Structure 1
Amino acid sequence: MNAKVTGGCLCGGVTYAVVGALRDIVVCHCEQCRRTSGHFVAATACRKAHFTLINQASLKWFSCIAGFRRSFCCECGSSLFFEEQGDERISIAAGSLDQAQGLKIAAHIYTAEAGDYYSLDDRASVFPGGGHTVPLP
């Protein structure tokens, strides 16, 4: 049986649980992620079937590309989730996990859009576009 992993936003207005394996971290350097987080985004992911929103009182979804949406807490501003609607995966901001899970950075995506004020970690795979080879557990 898989352990239950929990997480949420800074103020507690959004909490969630995952009962199932989490994917290693994919770091996204795209302009959208940089604008919504103030930097690049480090995200794990799981199968939606293993994901449950426990409290969504302050959860807001935003879509700027048809078929894709990201969420945040409208009270504290925490960036939380990203998903392609209809896909089996939901991406979860790694910093929103309640406890360390032993996850590692497995890949960097959209590196062609990376900010010019930082360097990439060359120990992980680098993909100039959005595709990567990190499997969903």
Structure 2
Amino acid sequence: MTEPGFSGGCQCGAVRYRVEGALSSPHLCHCRMCQKAAGNYFMPLASADNEAFSLTRGAPRWFFSSEFVKRGFCEDCGTPLFFMTEGGDHVSVTLGSLDDPSAVVPATQDGVEGRVPFFHALPGLPERLTDRSDLPGGTQGVAGSSRQHPDHDTDHWPKERDNER
């Protein structure tokens, strides 16, 4: 049986982490710094006490987005992973980096002064299934050649550096 908590990591598997117990303050942050850090309209985050958090593989690189805040990311694949206040007692993890991102539902929206004005209309956009017929082998070809780490811890991580073509 799996211990209660959460595991997650970057897209390539170079950085993996574990949170023992619950995550708190799950939210969507719309501030401009989070938008830039995520390369998205918002960044979903939740917090864990420092004592409950551990790295299980690798180590992130850190960028100080301000004097007081640092953001951790994988230096190999660029995945944004963590948000920490320097000297703080908790780390926030990006909810998309969890092995099961649906396990934590955001409860608030923060930094709404930076929210893009069309955010409310996004759920009304037309929906389409993934179709990569523009690529060799289509969607199955992409899935069959994926270098994405699986959504669970592994004993072995086959690091590949052939993504620099």
State the Cα distance separating 1:24 from its structure 2 match: 4.6
Superposition map of 1:6-85 within 5 A: 6-39=7-40, 40-57=42-59, 59-85=60-86
Output the amino acid matched with 2:112: T
Aligned mates of 2:104, 2:74 — CA distance in 1: 24
State the Cα distance separating 1:101 from its structure 2 match: 6.0
Gaps of 5+ in 2: 123-165
Cα contact 1:60–1:74 (8 A) shared by 2: yes
- Which structure has greater strand proportion? 1
Aligned mates of 1:79, 1:64 — CA distance in 2: 13
State the Cα distance separating 1:5 from its structure 2 match: 1.8
3-state SS of the aligned residue for 2:100? coil
Spell out, residue by residue over 1:55-80, the C-alpha distance to the aligned partner (whole angstroms, 9 max, x if none): 224x2100031121001111111110
State the Cα distance separating 1:89 from its structure 2 match: 1.2
> What RMSD, in angstroms, separates the aligned Cα atoms of the two structures?
1.9
Which residue does the alignment assign to 1:129? none
3-state SS of the aligned residue for 1:61? strand
TM-score normalised over the length of structure 2: 0.66
Spell out, residue by residue over 1:94-133, the C-alpha distance to the aligned partner (whole angstroms, 9 max, x if none): 0111125632221111111112332289xxxxxxxxxxxx
Output the amino acid matched with 2:82: F
Output the amino acid matched with 1:45: S
Q: Does 1:86 align with 2:113?
A: no
Aligned mates of 1:64, 1:79 — CA distance in 2: 13
Over alpha carbons, which structure has the higher Rg?
2
Gaps of 5+ in 1: 122-137
Aligned mates of 1:74, 1:37 — CA distance in 2: 14
Q: How many residues align?
A: 119
Change (3 A) 1:41 1:73: same
Which residue does the alignment assign to 1:109? 110
Superposition map of 1:110-129 within 5 A: 110-119=111-120
